[in-house]
Amino acid sequence: MIKTNREIASKTIIFRLLGYLRPQKVKLVIIFFMAVLSTVFSIVSPKILGNTTTIVFNGVMEKYNNIPGARINFEYILDLLLLLTVLYIISAFFSYLQQYLMAELVQNTIFNLRNATYKKLSNLPLSYFDSVSHGEILSRVTNDIDNISSTLQQSLTQLITAAITLLGILIMMLIISPLMTVIALVTLPLSFISAAVITKKSQIFFSGQQKELGKLNGHVEEMFTGHQIIKAFGQEDLAVEKFEKINTRLYNSSWKAQFISGIVFPMINLIGNIGYVVISVAGSILVLKKSIEIGDIQAFIQYSRQFTYPIMQTANIASIIQSTIASAERVFQLLDEAEETPEKENPERILFPKGEVEFDKVYFGYQDNNLIIDNLSIHVAPGSKIAIVGPTGAGKTTLVNLLMGFYDLNMGRILIDKVDIHSLKRNELRKMFGIVLQDTWLFNGSIRDNISYGKKGASPEQIINAAKAAHADHFIRTFPRGYDTVLDEEATNISQGQKQLLTIARAFLADPAILILDEATSNVDTRTELLIQKAMTDLMKGRTSFVIAHRLSTIKDADSILVMENGKIIETGSHFELLKKKGVYSELYYSQFTIK
Mean pLDDT of 276-299: 75
Q: Is residue 170 domain-shared with residue 24, that is, in the same domain?
A: yes
> Which residues is 358 bridged to in the sheet?
379, 415
Gap between the terminal Cα atoms of the chain: 77
CATH number reported for the structural domain that contains residue 452 in this entry? 3.40.50.300
Domain range for 535 is 357-591
242 shares a domain with 375: no
CATH number reported for the structural domain that contains residue 152 in this entry: 1.20.1560.10
Residues 407 and 284 in one domain: no
Rounded Cα distance between 164 and 241, Å, is 51
Residues 256, 393 within the same domain = no
Domain boundary residue, one of 283, 301, 335:
335
User: Looking at the structure, do residues 284 and 407 belong to the same domain, yes or no?
Assistant: no
Residue 347 lies in a domain: no
Residue 580 CA neighbour count, 13 Å, CB half: 6
3-state secondary structure of 361: strand
Report, as an integer, the average pLDDT of 231-240.
72
Say if residue 274 is in the same domain as residue 377: no
In a domain, 2, yes or no: no
Q: Which of 300, 335, 370 is a domain's end point?
A: 335
Residue 439 and residue 578 in one domain = yes
Q: With respect to residue 89, please indicate whether it lies within any of the assigned structural domains.
A: yes
Would you say residue 340 lies in a domain? no
The answer as to whether 1 is a domain residue is no
pLDDT for the residue numbered 371? 79
The phi-psi region of residue 377 (left if phi > 0; otherwise alpha if psi is between -120 and 50; otherwise beta) is: beta
pLDDT given at position 319: 67
CA distances 267 to 264, 308, 318, 323, 471, Å, are 5, 11, 14, 20, 73
In a domain, 345, yes or no: no
Domain count, the chain: 2
Q: What is the mean pLDDT of the chain?
A: 80
- Convert the pLDDT of each residue in 143-174 to its tens digit: 888 888 888 877 777 788 888 888 888 888 88
Residue 400 has pLDDT above 70, yes or no: yes
pLDDT value of position 277: 76
Asked whether the predicted pLDDT for residue 595 surpasses 50, the reply is no
Residue, of 502 and 594, whose pLDDT is higher: 502
Give the confidence band of 525 by pLDDT, cuts at 50, 70, 90. low
421 shares a domain with 505: yes
Residue 349 lies in a domain: no
Residues 302 and 362 placed together within one structural domain of the fold: no
Overall average pLDDT of the 176-193 stretch:
75
Higher-pLDDT residue of 47, 2? 47
Q: What φ, ψ does residue 565 adopt, rounded to 5°?
A: -155, 125
Whether residue 314 sits in one domain with residue 169 = yes
Q: What is the pLDDT of residue 415?
A: 92
Tell me what pLDDT residue 520 has: 62
Backbone angles phi, psi at 233, to 5 degrees: -95, 5
- Same domain assignment for residues 116 and 219: yes
In a domain, 316, yes or no: yes
Indicate the SS3 state at residue 321. Answer: helix
Query: From the centroid of its chain, how far is CA 473?
Result: 39
Same domain, 329 and 471: no
* pLDDT above 80 for 71: no
